[in-house]
Amino acid sequence: MTLADPFGRKVTGLRIAITARCNLRCLYCHHEGEDPAPSGRREISADEIVKVICAGASLGIRRVKLTGGEPLMRRDLETILARLPEGLEVSLTTNGTHLAGRAVALAGAGLDRVNVSLDSLRPQAYRRITGGTEEDLKRAVAGIDGALEAGLLPVKVNMVVLKENEGEVWDLIDFARDRGAILQLIELLERPGLGIGGDIAGIEAALEEGADEIVTRDMHRRRKYFLSGGEVEVVRPMDNTEFCAHCNRLRVTSDGKLKPCLLRNDNLVDLAGADGEEMKRRIEEAVGLRSPYFCGGDEKER
Ligand code: SAM
């Protein structure tokens, strides 16, 4: 079976923030659409993560993405992975600083692939953007290499395009290509008044010109550019009706609530205490609350 929302959009993916804790402080972070964690907020338990994934799998969920916060802050991640049902594609998005030493164990526990955030290769810019040290930057690069060696493929390098780092896009394309990784360029979801977003439209136009081949993915209608052996994927959610029309995921917050849309917090469904059939019912309820945020109308009305 496949879940579908009232707009006919199939739901085949779960994106779960398994913690709000993080060792970096990215200046643009959207905290996966959650209010930045007040101290003392509860953290979703390992049992809840396993239960929601099992219930989702029986309803036709095929892909699970674990995120955060920084998911590697959880020491029980490998044991959670080992409890997940067969047949799902399970991936992780991480800042990579604690990945190198765990990549083999994560792969052994059933993780299929990783996205590693890396917004700059220059220590000073990396520090300004993420708050991380030069050592953190080295560890993130080692994390990417460790993931490639452990077979967590394809490894995607996530770069949020900012004014601060837009001049480095071509260096990052080379960096990813030389390792056999995919570069994912992400449009900044910007807080009003911040003004730090880079010119992703200009970069995409340059990619279009230089590409040997361009492919459009079904998911979110993301475009992929192939250039001299390198692969670059562009993620542009802002004011993008196509992005919402092709959104096929349901989110789970770090404090255990089903979240129908990244950009809304007024329609969450608590999963506390749910199991088996009741967990399925709550997933179906949350799917029933999904509606495209960017739908061509006045989004601010919502
Ligand atoms: N700590 C992990 C990491 O660094 O990948 C997981 C959490 S992070 C919120 C997940 C992804 O969201 C990262 O690739 C990050 O770059 C992206 N992200 C965070 N804030 C964003 C924003 N305001 N606009 C676009 N992407 C953002």
* Rounded Cα–Cα distance for residues 60 and 47 (Å): 20
Closest atom, ligand 1, to C-alpha of 190: 23
Residue 10 is assigned to a ligand binding site: no
Rg of the chain taking only CA atoms, in angstroms: 19
- For 72, counting Cβ atoms within 10 Å of its Cβ (0-12 exposed, 13-18 middle, 19+ buried), the class is buried
Atom 1 (ligand 1) nearest CA: 70
Per-residue confidence (pLDDT) for residue 38, from 0 to 100? 66
User: Dihedral of the CA atoms 134, 139, 140, 145 (nearest 10)?
Assistant: 140
Q: Would you state the structure tokens that stand for residue 280, as one six-digit string?
A: 């399925």
Atom 13 (ligand 1) nearest CA: 117
Residue 221 is assigned to a ligand binding site: no
**Per-residue model confidence as pLDDT tens for the chain (302 residues):** 899 999 999 999 999 999 999 999 999 999 999 987 667 889 999 999 999 999 999 999 999 999 999 999 999 999 999 999 999 999 999 999 999 999 999 999 999 999 999 999 999 999 999 999 999 999 999 999 999 999 999 999 999 999 999 999 999 999 999 999 999 999 999 888 889 999 999 999 999 999 999 998 777 678 999 998 899 999 987 767 777 888 999 999 999 999 999 999 999 999 999 999 999 999 999 999 999 888 754 444 34
Ligand 1 pocket test: pick from 158, 162, 166 the residue with the most ligand atoms within 8 Å of its Cβ. Answer: 158
Q: What's the 278 CA to ligand 1 centre distance in angstroms?
A: 31
Residue 250 is assigned to a ligand binding site: yes
Strands (E), 29-164: 63-67, 89-94, 113-117, 156-161
Per-residue confidence (pLDDT) for residue 296, from 0 to 100? 59
pTM: 0.95
Ligand 1 pocket test: pick from 16, 21, 28 the residue with the most ligand atoms within 8 Å of its Cβ. Answer: 28
Contacts of 301 (CB under 8 A, 6+ apart): none
Per-residue confidence (pLDDT) for residue 211, from 0 to 100? 96
Q: What's the 118 CA to ligand 1 centre distance in angstroms?
A: 10
Residue 22 is assigned to a ligand binding site: yes
Q: Is 67 in the pocket of ligand 1 (CB under 6 A)?
A: yes
Q: Is 158 in the pocket of ligand 1 (CB under 6 A)?
A: yes
Tabulate helix, strand, coil % of the chain (nearest 5). Answer: 35, 20, 45
Q: Would you state the structure tokens that stand for residue 230, as one six-digit string?
A: 């390198």
Peptide bond into 69 cis (omega under 30): yes
Per-residue confidence (pLDDT) for residue 22, from 0 to 100? 96
Q: Is 160 in the pocket of ligand 1 (CB under 6 A)?
A: yes
Q: Could you please state the CATH topology (level 3) that the domain comprising 3-156+237-288 is classified under.
A: TIM Barrel (3.20.20)
Q: Would you state the structure tokens that stand for residue 173, as one six-digit string?
A: 């394309």
Domain map (residue ranges) of the chain: 3-156+237-288
Per-residue confidence (pLDDT) for residue 237, from 0 to 100? 77
